[in-house]
Amino acid sequence: MKLPIQLAPKHPQGLLLVNPVMTASGTFGYGTEYSHLFDVQKLGAIVCKGTTLEPREGNPQPRLAETASGVLNSIGLENIGVNAVIKEKAPIWASWEVPVIVNIAGETVDEYVQVASQLEGVAGISGLEVNISCPNIKVGGAEFGANPDSAAEVTAAVRKATSLPMLVKLTPNTSDIARVAVAVAEAGADAISLINTLKGMAIDITQHRPLLGNITGGLSGPAIKPVALYMVYEVAGAVDIPIIGCGGITTASDALEFIMAGASAIQVGTASFANPRAPLDVLEGIEQFMKKEGIKDINELVGAAQR
């Protein structure tokens, strides 16, 4: 049975994963936090927490709220900053077999570029995932990924700053995600991951005010799966670079739906909070399904529902 997936076929070095199961940024720390719980080396790739130029404390508490079949979070990109990632985390990753992809974020195009430049040539980093769900402070805080022009601008700028394989992670908070995907692909993305969280809120009725300290947050978990699946299907039909599906994936059958919709790989996010072994369970379930169905190569399933 063949599980390897090439995520960056147009990149000179490529980004070959031994299997299609990845972790989603912000839900698996730096991988190190989970390495005593199960053999993280068995995964296709690990995507670390969103990394910014300077360390960030994130948004005011409370920052998490449970919803029906989902979670609202307003962590606000709390992270240790790119220097600490390079000094403290990359040396550990360099000894790992599993590729680690650094998710990067910024409030200006220049900030993304600086983070990418600092990560250039650092051992232990196999690729970048550019999170374009961040507010662009120069244009009043709309997400970079909300429109094709600003999405392409940040993608092209990071492309120039890095020689690593580059994934660009799309936000669902836009009116036409396929157009954003096409713009990002034309601007040099090697692959596209989607989706990030959907904007939402909750209200504390005893206090008469929003429950999250930041007022709004991002919805994730099983509640968003049908939306994410539809968007993956749309984007896979619009671009010819690999797609990484994400959004509510909890079981192998969820993952297989995304793969059949057109995703070459998938990311497990919120599911890891309830079950830290979820990414491995998803991988084992995919293997069982392929065995049962007599599928010899995972690539046979990629986009099967598109045809």
What residues line the site for ligand FMN (CB under 6 A)?
24-27, 49-50, 71, 73, 75, 77, 103, 131, 169, 196-197, 220-221, 224, 246-249, 269-271
Question: Phi and psi (nearest 5°) for 7?
Answer: -95, -15
Considering only CA atoms, which of 50, 14, 38, 29 is closest in space to residue 93? 29
Nearest-approach distance from CB 177 to ligand FMN, in angstroms: 13
The percent helix, strand, coil of the chain (3-state, each to 5) is 35, 20, 45
Nearest-approach distance from CB 269 to ligand FMN, in angstroms: 2
96-127 burial, b if ≥16 CB within 10 A, otherwise e? bebbbbbbbbbbbbebbbbbbebbeebebbbb
173/299 with CB nearer ligand FMN: 173
Position with the least CB separation from ligand FMN: 26
131/155 with CB nearer ligand FMN: 131
Rounded to whole angstroms, the Cα distance separating 282 from 263 reads: 15
Give 245's Cβ-side CA count (13 Å radius): 33
Nearest-approach distance from CB 244 to ligand FMN, in angstroms: 10
Rounded to whole angstroms, the Cα distance separating 219 from 224 reads: 7
Q: Which of 8, 85, 134, 268 is catalytic?
A: 134
63/299 with CB nearer ligand FMN: 63
Nearest-approach distance from CB 22 to ligand FMN, in angstroms: 10
Let me know if 246 is a catalytic residue. Answer: no
75/201 with CB nearer ligand FMN: 75
Residues acting as catalytic residues: 134
